Amino acid sequence: MNILERIFGRKVKETSANKTNSNTDNSELSGLEKFKSKSLDERMMDIMMLGDTGNPKVFEILEYAIQNDNDSNVVMAALKRIHLFKENEELIPFLTELKNTKNMDRYEPYYSMALSRTGIISFEEFENKINGNK
């Protein structure tokens, strides 16, 4: 490798890595208040990127999004990832209580998938619910 490739190749790699890390760190450090003030696209990106990490600090953001976000796509993205937080002792009561406090039918099949993936309902119950069987 010649000197120019070494200099420019390295610089590009460093810039890409720094950019990725700074975006993730900024979002992760922003917390719930920052999340609330973000645009739809930014909220969706946070849910997808941070939710996939399973980082316990992100549970509060997913919980908020499911309960309060006015965009159904954000809610469904959070429901799709909430099972990654099985270790959180608040998860099972939270998902169970949603049945009583919020109309979750509009978020199917994601709500039932979350229930199934966390063991609240069996896979058979999930299939019955999705197929419209009681």
DSSP for 76-117, please give it.
Answer: HHHHHHGGGGTT-TTHHHHHHHHHHHS--GGGTTHHHHHHHH
Give the whole-number percent of the chain exceeding pLDDT 90.
63
**Helix H or strand E segment including 4:** helix 3-36
Give the contacts of 51 (CB within 8 A, at least 6 positions apart): 58, 61, 62, 77, 78, 80, 81, 82, 84
Mean residue pLDDT of the chain comes to 82
Instruction: Look at the alpha carbons of 100, 44, 132, 86 in this order and tell me if their dihedral is positive or negative.
Output: negative
pLDDT in tens, 32-61: 999 999 999 999 999 999 999 999 999 999
pLDDT in tens, 1-33: 555 455 555 443 333 333 344 344 444 445 899
pTM (predicted TM-score): 0.73
* Closest by CA position to 43, among listed 51, 121, 85, 22: 51
Q: What is the pLDDT of residue 118?
A: 95
Mean pLDDT for the stretch of residues 91-119: 92
Question: Cis omega before residue 56 (within 30°)?
Answer: no
Tell me the C-alpha distance between 122 and 91, whole Å: 17
User: How many CA atoms are closer than 13 Å to the CA of 124, on its beta-carbon side?
Assistant: 0
